Structure 1
Amino acid sequence: MYRQLFRLSVIFILIFFLHPSFVSGQEEVKYDISVAGISIGEMTAVKRKAGQKTSYEVRSEVSFWFFGRINVDYLVETEFHGKQLISSDSQSKTNRGDFRTLIQWDKDHYKVDSKNYKYENTSPIHKPLHFSSSVFFFEEPVNISEFMADGFGLVSPIQKVKDYYEVDVNGNKNKYYYVNGVLEKIVMYSPIKNYVVKRK
């Protein structure tokens, strides 16, 4: 009986430790979100890898004053197969309305259905992409010229400027700062409020 229990224990340990998702592991980073030096919320980015599949989850909660109190819960879930973006689901739940952008690879193009703040987009994208908003948190975009802006369903340019990368997302130019390949800070420009995302 003890021998059988021992064998079962060994089998369980081998299955658990050799499972692809465990071997590849999970990465998680946390950021503080601030406006004019005042903290308004937090952001957590998670990367999970299992075999050829890599998934990203970026979640944030902020609360700030803009002609009244605004609360925003944001979640984007992105999936890659190999190096190619396969799908993205961005959701913003606010006390002023809810918004969502769905992006899905379909044979030879991305289907896009974006309903954002004062913005809508259903234009398909007829080429595969290999970088998205979520990936910035885990990879420096060295030699990358464009990416999928998850919240808008747009192909947006990336340009290296001095000590940061500048991206143009629907007319808003955001700046990503890396130190030794690690994302330390983002200066974000938005129609409502400009803010800074800084690594904890």
Structure 2
Amino acid sequence: MPLCARGQANSPVDTRRYSIEVAGLRVGTMTATRQAQAGNTITYTLTSDVQVNFLVYHLKVYYQVVNQVRNGQLMLSTVAAHTNQGNFASRTEWKGDHYDIVANQYKYQHRATESQPITYTVTDMFFGEPLGHSKAYAEYFGDYFTLTATGHNTYRAVRDGREDQYHYTNGRLLTIVKTNPLKNFIIRLLPAEGAKNAGAK
């Protein structure tokens, strides 16, 4: 086997692990991974597993985003969501000259086409600051978040009344604050993961 092919086959996985907290309590986990494949393709995976039980508020959500990116362009994104309200899915697929976009999520339906190549997604935000980007494609919704830098390595992502805040240190995503009418969700890089990644540099 050629050296280059062997290197691609054994490409290491870049993994970022986060806790998900509500009102100071850990209610789930989120894991983002990035791995180079053959043919200038990178596979990104974002997995979230949440269970919340507060009085009359009950939430159970497991979802996984899988993105296939070739030469910097999103070729295929699939989102599978399993919740206490049912199972849902979203799909964004490049057809050669446009994307077919279908999002069927809880109380949310969206179908569209997009002719412009998608080169930056919400999942990308887990692997570095969105420098030079004014929007990020939200795979779950099949639509874009508008990004605004708010200083101190912090960015606001806004879409249709929804607002998230991303906080970075030295280019590493440390926390995300997801606004919620009941309680905000805090997604926080796990300390052990931060130390391990820092030591690997």
Q: What range describes the TM-score normalised by the shorter chain of this pair?
A: 0.7 to 0.9
Which residue matches 2:8? 20
Match of 2:43 in 1: 55
- 1:3-47 CA-to-partner distances (Å, cap 9, x unmatched) read xxxxxxxx7xx769933142x421011000001111101111111
**Post-superposition offset of 1:87:** 1.1
| Identity, % of aligned positions | 28
Distance 2:121 2:24 in 1: 27
**Inter-partner Cα distance in structure 1 for 2:181 and 2:32:** 23
Q: Which amino acid aligns with 1:56?
A: Y
Question: Does residue 28 of structure 2 align to residue 38 of structure 1?
Answer: no
Structure 1 runs, 4 residues or longer, greater than 2 Å off: 14-19, 65-70, 189-194
Contact 2:23 2:183 in 1 (8 A): no
Greater Rg by CA: 1
Q: Distance in 2 between matches of 1:132 and 1:169?
A: 14
CA contact (8 A) 1:21 1:48 kept: no
Judge conservation of contact 1:78–1:87 (CA < 8 Å) in 2.
yes
Report the alpha carbon displacement of residue 169 of structure 1 after superposing the two structures with TM: 2.8
Counterpart of 2:89 in structure 1 is 100
Other-structure match for 1:173? 163
* Structure 2 Cα separation of the partners of residues 76 and 199 of structure 1: 18
Aligned positions, number = 187
2:112 aligned counterpart, secondary structure: coil
SS of alignment partner, residue 123 of structure 1: strand
1:65 Cα shift?
A: 2.5
Residue among 98, 102, 107 paired with 1:113: 102
1:1-200 to 2 correspondences below 5 Å: 18-22=6-10, 24-51=11-38, 52-65=40-53, 67-163=56-152, 164-190=154-180, 194-200=184-190
Q: CA deviation at 1:135?
A: 0.9
State the SS of the aligned residue for 1:120: strand
Residue segments in structure 2 that go unaligned for 5+ positions in a row: 191-201
Is contact 1:149-1:169 (8 Å) kept? no
Aligned pair in 2 of structure 1 residues 74, 191: CA closer, same or farther (>3 Å)?
A: farther
Contact kept, 8 Å, 1:85 with 1:129, in 2: the verdict is yes
Q: What RMSD over aligned residues (CA atoms) do the two structures have, in Å?
A: 2.0
Q: In 2, Cα distance between the equivalents of 1:21 and 1:191?
A: 45
2:198 is matched with which residue? none
Given that 2:91 and 2:102 are in contact with CA atoms closer than 8 Å, whether structure 1 keeps it comes out as yes
Matched-pair contact (CA < 8 Å) for 2:85–2:106: no
Counterpart contact for 2:43–2:66, Cα < 8 Å: yes
Cα distance in 1 for partners of 2:84, 2:182 equals 14
Question: TM-score if structure 2 supplies the norm length?
Answer: 0.86
TM-score under structure 1 length normalisation? 0.86
Per-residue deviation, 1:92 = 1.2
